[in-house]
Amino acid sequence: MSDSSLQFDKSLLFATGALLFIGLVMVCSASITVADSRLEQPLYFFIRQFAFAMIGLAVAWAFISVRLAVWQRIAPQLLMAGVAMLIMVLIPGIGREVNGSSRWLPLGPVNLQVAELIKLFAIIYIADYLQRHHGQLHVSFLKVLAPLTLLGVAALLLLLQPDMGSMVVIMSTVLAMLFLGGARLDVFATLIGVMGLLFAMLVWIAPYRLERLQSFMDPWADPFGSGFQLTQALIAFGRGDWFGVGLGSSMQKLFYLPEAHTDFLYSIIAEELGLAGALTVIALFFVFIWRALAIGRAAEQAGQIFGAQIAYGIGIWLGLQACVNIGVNMGALPTKGLTLPLMSYGGSSLVIVCAAIALLFRVDMETRIPEKASARIRR
């Protein structure tokens, strides 16, 4: 595009496009057998994922057309709306329950996973808070604690679904943003310690979480029971070798590995594309995180605290979620129901991640040429 305000960060654009493209191809490959068996439509999941990708791109263009000042103005209302939707999810007859978890709001032919929405809303809210209290967090513990009160309500509602994975990602992202926003190291360390104790308590009081942790530590102790999913994922990694068995040639997706096209898509990538493909995905996420943090740093140096914290938050959120998903697939972390951003099958996750990345591009545009970005983007 001729207008310099519309020239996006090329490295970020490349990493995002490559991850989205690889994700679409691998969702097609990983889901074709199960879709044919269950629905007699081999491309069912791919078609839906492609449609969600198109919707995500349309939503992204809408988001990138809105000035950051607008998002800052409605930040508290967005978080309150997110909390309200988390409450609605738990109401029988409104929320939809799948596999014992109430995480979705049915919206006609699609289901909205509210946890994905609350991640973005929490980042916008904290970014606004840090803008309004810039320079005050290092002198007051209450200034650090105050925004965690409302987010604590959201975290509790997520645990009631239950969705501990999303809760950990949100709270970890928020704590990192508070630290980058000026919270003292001793306060930050205290909050990390408190979160660690709460995490240990939540694992201890919930038998299924404790069982999941034990099976993660030694999945081969019960390879056909609690450790089945992880052992099958590890077999996929072993079969992949250096360059994989070839696109579409996975054995583990043939009803051996559950959720092969969703939470365990990375295992199929490792099997079909090998170590080379698996490392390529990691490298693309590294580029994405690097550019997100670089955009945040540039915005901070330009005095745009809200935009800087938006960029930091999105980079930390998606980077952390990618690390957790990849770690789960490799057996380095306990199994959690977190998708691989831009890649795993799931409409809510894909659309909301596209919207978040659009905000990241918007931060970059307003940092480089604030006047033109505000005036030209709508033309």
In a domain, 218, yes or no: yes
pLDDT digits (tens, 9 = 90+) for 242-253: 999 999 899 999
* Below-50 pLDDT ranges, the chain: 1-2, 4, 373-379
Q: What is the pLDDT of residue 27?
A: 96
Confidence (pTM): 0.91
Residues 6+ apart with CB under 8 A from 217: none
Q: How many CB atoms lie within 10 A of CB 291?
A: 22
Contacts 24+ apart (CB under 8 A), 274-278: 274/240, 274/241, 274/242, 274/243, 274/244, 274/245, 275/240, 275/241, 275/242, 275/243, 276/242, 276/243, 276/244, 277/240, 277/243, 277/244, 278/237, 278/240
Per-residue HEC secondary structure of 194-230 comes to HHHHHHHHHHHHCHHHHHHHHHHHCHHHCCCCCCHHH
Q: What is the pLDDT of residue 378?
A: 45
Q: What is the pLDDT of residue 149?
A: 85
Q: What is the pLDDT of residue 250?
A: 92
Q: How many CB atoms lie within 10 A of CB 179?
A: 19
User: Looking at the DSSP assignment, which residues form a beta bridge with residue 247?
Assistant: none
Number of domains in the chain: 1
Domain range for 359: 10-375
Per-residue HEC secondary structure of 50-65 comes to HHHHHHHHHHHHHHHC
In a domain, 1, yes or no: no
DSSP character at residue 325: H
In a domain, 5, yes or no: no
In a domain, 48, yes or no: yes
In a domain, 305, yes or no: yes
In a domain, 191, yes or no: yes
Residue 247 in tokens: 């696109």
Chain-wide mean pLDDT for the chain?
Answer: 88
- 96-98 and 101-107 strand pairing: antiparallel
**Single-letter code of the amino acid located at 249:** S
DSSP character at residue 75: H
For residues 222 and 365, what is the distance between their CA atoms, to the nearest angstrom? 52
In a domain, 4, yes or no: no
For residues 86 and 98, what is the distance between their CA atoms, to the nearest angstrom? 16
In a domain, 133, yes or no: yes
Q: What is the pLDDT of residue 2?
A: 42
Radius of gyration of the chain (CA): 21
